[in-house]
Amino acid sequence: MAIFTLATYHCLAFVWYFFVAYSITHVRTEERPSEVFLYGGQWKYLTVLNLALQAVFYGVSFLADVLRLMKKLRCAKCVISSRDLLFSVLAFPVSTFVCLSFWMLYTYNRELVYPKSLDRVIPLWLNHAMHTAVLPFAVLEILATPHRYPAKKKGLILLGFVAFLYISWVLWIYSVTGEWVYPLFALFSPAGLAAFFAGSLGVVISFYNFGEFLNRMIW
């Protein structure tokens, strides 16, 4: 894909994710359902954190494209390294996990992840923007441009560290409020919850490996 076309795409993707993140973080709190508590704001949800992550990634990607158009190749090389690390370790596996895990649980029992009462607050288009569109965007990014993946050990350590931070954030919120970020977690015993978190990490790692495989096969 030509650099100018790629820059246009990355710019539009950045604007889209910024708009979606802005829209969800400015949902009026006075209209929230009673089961949605305020502590941590929307930043307790992996979906919203992923929107911010995608906005950052596409912003970095757009910057790399602009630097290449300006022939600032030395600066572009550094930014491209950051772009590739963001995409390989976080942007692709997290967006894939958010989309597939959400819709699987939603289909099984939506009350576990997205209570019906949220339909009064979050419009349908915003729900799909947060939980559906993220996967096509991630796949399109692989098709649009090659990404250099880090050494497998480094990539998995970084991914595991980020997962540990989010799990710690979820547990901290529960320790403070006595409420789980997702109603699903209340179904598990402590051992069951640990197994669920471990299994989820295993799934995210499989998405990391799948992204690396796709990137290698296409490019």
Question: pTM value?
Answer: 0.93
Q: What is the pLDDT of residues 7-50, one digit of tens each?
A: 999 999 999 999 999 998 877 655 555 556 577 778 899 999 99
Q: What is the pLDDT of residues 46-96, one digit of tens each?
A: 999 999 999 999 999 999 999 998 888 788 899 999 999 999 999 999 999
In the 3-class helix/strand/coil scheme, how is the chain assigned residue by residue?
Answer: CCHHHHHHHHHHHHHHHHHHHHHHHCCCHHHCCCCCCCCCHHHHCHHHHHHHHHHHHHHHHHHHHHHHHCCCHHHHHHHHHHHHHHHHHHHHHHHHHHHHHHHHHHHHHHHHCCCHHHHHCCCHHHHHHHHCCHHHHHHHHHHHCCCCCCCHHHHHHHHHHHHHHHHHHHHHHHHHHCCCCCHHHHHCCHHHHHHHHHHHHHHHHHHHHHHHHHHHHHC
Domain ranges of the chain: 3-27+40-218
Confidence label for 205 from pLDDT (cuts 50, 70 and 90): very high
**pLDDT value, residue 25:** 81
Q: Is 38 left (phi over 0), alpha (psi -120 to 50) or beta?
A: alpha
What value does the mean pLDDT take over residues 150-158?
Answer: 95
